[in-house]
Amino acid sequence: MFVPNTRQPLLPAPRRRAQNRQGSAPSLKTFSSALVWLILTIIAVSLIFSYRFLPSSREKYTITERTLDSEYELYVLHHEPSSHFCSLPRRPLICAHGGDLESAPPNTLSSFQAALEAGADCIEVDVSMTKDGQLVALHDRDLAALLDIIRSGGGGTAAGRGTGTTAAPFLESRLPSWNRRLVHSSDLFPIIGDYTWDQLLKLKWQKDGSGVALVEDVLDLILSSSSHDIAITLDIKLTDSHNEILEAELMAQAVFDLLKKTNCGQYCMTWSKSDVFVAAMKIVDTNQRVGLVVLNETSASRTARMHEPLRLQHLGAEVAGVHYRMATTELTKLLKKAKREVHIWTANTAAMMTVALDAGPDAVVTSHPRKLLTALHARAAACARGRKESSSF
């Protein structure tokens, strides 16, 4: 008797193999994903460990931007200048931001001396006013680093820049309570205007023992030691946003008096992120060269219209200080058409330097003047080779 087969018919062999592969794929995919995540986790933990528990490693990567320079970026910087760069009638000036940070702490006499010896064409000095009216070469972020190191007992945790001297109790007892919190905050800085000159004199940098300098001493150093006419940019820092007009007027008068005392008028240019100061400086001295900062990095800067390159043309600003993120050949041409020099700041990595130089500015501000000067020499040779090759056709 014939009994019909009620079982599910078998699939053909090829279809059966495909079905088996589909069934095993999810487990293989899950294993691969888990392996990738494990590797990434190990790498992340290793990086965190090396940064958190190895101070020497952290110091190395905090102090310099060299680690951000890939071989490719350095090659492009040295050997692939844009046609616009090669067509410039003269090379951009190299302006040392706070001096030469490869050699000494920022805004110190030793750093400025190193920049002069490196062959910088221009020196940029951060200018702040103390509580008792002294003009000092210091930035709030550097003051924060010095205070943090001193209060932690020294030893060099913030890039080894502090000293661990007995100044800690002296400064701590004179800090307003709110300012103490600022010092320990990761995103806020102490304010130089809350300290007297005598208080700041207590601070020393661990790297070379140098201290905070008066702007007058910095100008005397630059003007007396330079073998050629060197440009000086005074980057004016204001701190009182609630009374900006009064602070700008006081700062402008103090800067004017200092420039007159040091005979720096023909060499010095002042700029600031405060348009109020720029206006005040022109009121105090209509012949003083000033610069407007062009910046679009934050919402606050855009609200203040700092991203508008041709704003306040009635002030007659001679210079535009363009943030490197905004640097383009088109913007450079626009500003030069408006009779403004173009200074691009602050280009520290190879990629930043490439962007800044290719935009064709009059000057580039950098914390590493030796590195940028080396790149300029290499680019000049690359431009010469390009002209020679094109003429041979």
pLDDT category of residue 145 using cuts at 50, 70 and 90: confident
pLDDT category of residue 42 using cuts at 50, 70 and 90: confident
8 A C-beta contact, residue 309 and residue 322: yes
Say how far apart CA 259 and CA 270 lie, in whole Å: 10
Is pLDDT of 26 > 90? no
8 A C-beta contact, residue 357 and residue 96: no
Beta-bridge partner residues of 135:
129
* Three-point CA angle 258, 262, 266, nearest 5°: 95
Structure tokens at 216: 């007058």
**Domain ranges, ordered by start, for the chain:** 69-138+213-391, 139-211
Burial 126-152 (b: 16+ CB within 10 A, else e): bbbbbeeebbbbbbbebbbbbbbbbbe
pLDDT in tens, 285-307: 999 999 999 999 889 889 989 99
CATH code for the domain defined by 69-138+213-391: 3.20.20.190
Which residues does 61 contact at the CB level (< 8 Å), separation at least 6? 51, 67
Q: What is the pTM of this model?
A: 0.75
pLDDT computed for residue 390 by the predictor: 72
pLDDT in tens, 154-182: 433 233 333 333 333 333 443 333 333 33
Say how far apart CA 288 and CA 259 lie, in whole Å: 10
Is pLDDT of 362 > 70? yes
User: Strand (E) positions, 167-318?
Assistant: 213-214, 231-236, 268-272, 290-294
